[in-house]
Amino acid sequence: MDNPKPASFTRHRSPGRPTRKQAEARNNQLLDTALDLFLQQGFERTTIEAITAAVGMAKRTVYARYGDKETLFRTALQRAIDEWIVPIDRLREAESDDFEASLLAIGRILVANILSREGMRLMRITNAESIRMPEIGEHALRQGTGPTVAYLADMFQRRLPERFSNPVEAADVAYSYLQLVAGGPANIVAWGVSLTDEQVERQTRTNVRLFLHGVLH
């Protein structure tokens, strides 16, 4: 009979430290869960204990990493903005020689983005908590909308140089485009009204035409 293997071969190894990728995924899960709870219960009623229980993480780990609940909230909000924002290159790729078709294609991207789970969560939680923390609304607008407004203003100046020689006016009109085309459906859904894909498409087309008519006349 063969001799038994030495104990060093049969002993179970203790699990090692998580890899950087695993730690990052775990932290992202924490931030995502925290933001969901902040939305469901509000900032004041959400506790670190509830967040750690939901994600299965020790409280001391969260306190060591973020210090307090407000820092955790702001970090989760910043990550949500970073994950949600549409890359400008994607908007540029939607441009074509037809200006109206470009506005419609870009509008579809922006509407789909704001109506996504992530977009509506960000909109709702920012609106709810801006009363207590006014600066987060400004921050979300500047970080989440600012690059898109800058891109649209540049496009208006490129496509309609005789109409938009003033960059400030171009930026104002870009913001109006966002409010009309993307903000319209988003506000309706935020109020709890469901829209079908057909209704969203019809509103997007109508709002783009209204915007274009106002710009060109």
pLDDT tens for 74-120 read: 999 989 888 889 999 999 999 999 999 999 999 999 999 999 999 99
Q: Which two tokens stand for residue 166?
A: 């003033």
Instruction: Answer whether residue 125 shows pLDDT above 70.
Output: yes
pLDDT per residue over 51-87, tens digit each? 999 999 999 999 999 999 999 999 999 898 888 899 9
**Where exactly does CATH 1.10.357.10 map onto the chain?**
85-216
Q: Using 50, 70 and 90 to split pLDDT, how confident is the model at 7?
A: very low
Mean predicted confidence (pLDDT) in 203-215: 94
CATH 1.10.10.60 spans which residues of the chain? 18-81
Give the side-chain half-sphere CA count within 13 A for 59: 7
Instruction: Give pLDDT, residue 92.
Output: 96
Find out whether 99 and 158 touch, Cβ atoms under 8 Å. Answer: no
Q: Coil, strand, or helix at residue 121?
A: helix
> How many H helices and E strands in the chain?
13, 0
Query: For residue 195, is pLDDT > 80?
Result: yes
Tell me how far the alpha carbon of residue 80 is from its chain's centroid: 5
Average pLDDT over residues 9-23: 62
CATH architecture for segment(s) 85-216: Orthogonal Bundle (1.10)
What's the rounded mean pLDDT across residues 4-20?
Answer: 54
The CATH code belonging to domain 18-81 is: 1.10.10.60
pLDDT at 41 over 50: yes
pTM (2 d.p.): 0.81
